């Protein structure tokens, strides 16, 4: 990625600084003292060519800018994917519903959090956990009842009963 940034900066500098300085001198040399019309035609030719290079430089600069600031960061994504790919070995064997608490609720909340649903892992099956369960059930096209039974538990991969 660094080399792409360096090449882009060098190209933009060349197009907007170096080419501009030599354009008029080059046009004079090509027209080599010709009449005003030849010199004007050469200036126009070089201005058009420089305009094309400027447009290419701006577009390339925008693409690199977008990639650097809004592109995917490969290193952090692979670490997150590794954590999420690890299967959970903890399971629950009885249904859970609103008002329950304990280690089985913690397992449920950790699984919902791993699915990307907003839930606090506190071991209490409260309104936040119930909302996350219902969102998961809707997402997986299960019966939306807010309770975790065999169907929802298997979809989460935490059911052993």
Tens of pLDDT, residue by residue over 27-79, are: 666 656 555 566 666 667 667 777 777 788 888 888 888 888 777 655 554 44
Supply the range of the domain harboring residue 129: 82-156
Cα separations (Å) of 130 from 56, 99, 119? 54, 10, 9
Q: Are 119 and 132 in contact (CB under 8 A)?
A: yes
- pLDDT higher than threshold 80 for residue 20: no
Regarding whether 148 and 86 lie in a shared domain, the answer is: yes
Asked whether residue 127 is assigned to any structural domain, the reply reads: yes
Q: What is the DSSP letter of 88?
A: P
Model pLDDT, residue 24: 60
Regarding whether 94 and 41 lie in a shared domain, the answer is: no
Residue where one domain finishes, among candidates 32, 50, 71: 71
Q: Model confidence over 134-148: pLDDT tens digits?
A: 999 999 999 889 889
Count of domains forming the chain: 2
Asked whether residue 161 is assigned to any structural domain, the reply reads: no
Length, in residues, of the chain: 161
Regarding whether 91 and 62 lie in a shared domain, the answer is: no
Asked whether residue 61 is assigned to any structural domain, the reply reads: yes
Q: Are 54 and 16 in contact (CB under 8 A)?
A: yes
Residue of 3, 5, 14, 10 lying closest to 54 (CA atoms):
14
- pLDDT higher than threshold 60 for residue 123: yes
Any idea what the CATH number is for the domain that residue 107 is in? Answer: 1.10.101.10
Regarding whether 63 and 14 lie in a shared domain, the answer is: yes
Q: Are 125 and 96 in contact (CB under 8 A)?
A: yes
Q: Are 124 and 105 in contact (CB under 8 A)?
A: yes
Asked whether residue 77 is assigned to any structural domain, the reply reads: no
Regarding whether 103 and 128 lie in a shared domain, the answer is: yes
């Amino acid at each position: 990625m660094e080399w792409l940034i360096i090449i882009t900066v060098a190209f933009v500098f060349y197009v907007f600084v170096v080419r501009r300085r030599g354009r008029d001198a080059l046009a004079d040399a090509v027209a080599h003292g010709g009449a005003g019309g030849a010199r004007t035609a050469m200036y126009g030719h070089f201005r058009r060519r420089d305009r094309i290079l400027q447009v290419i430089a701006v577009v390339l600069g925008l693409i690199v800018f977008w990639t650097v600031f809004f592109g995917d960061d490969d290193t952090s994504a692979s670490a997150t994917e590794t954590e999420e790919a690890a299967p959970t070995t903890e399971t629950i064997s009885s249904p859970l519903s609103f008002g329950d608490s304990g280690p089985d609720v913690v397992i449920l909340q950790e699984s919902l959090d791993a699915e990307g649903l907003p839930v606090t892992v506190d071991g209490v099956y409260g309104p936040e956990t119930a909302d996350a369960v219902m969102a998961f059930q809707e997402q997986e096209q299960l019966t939306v009842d807010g309770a975790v039974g065999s169907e929802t538990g298997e979809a989460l991969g935490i059911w052993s009963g």
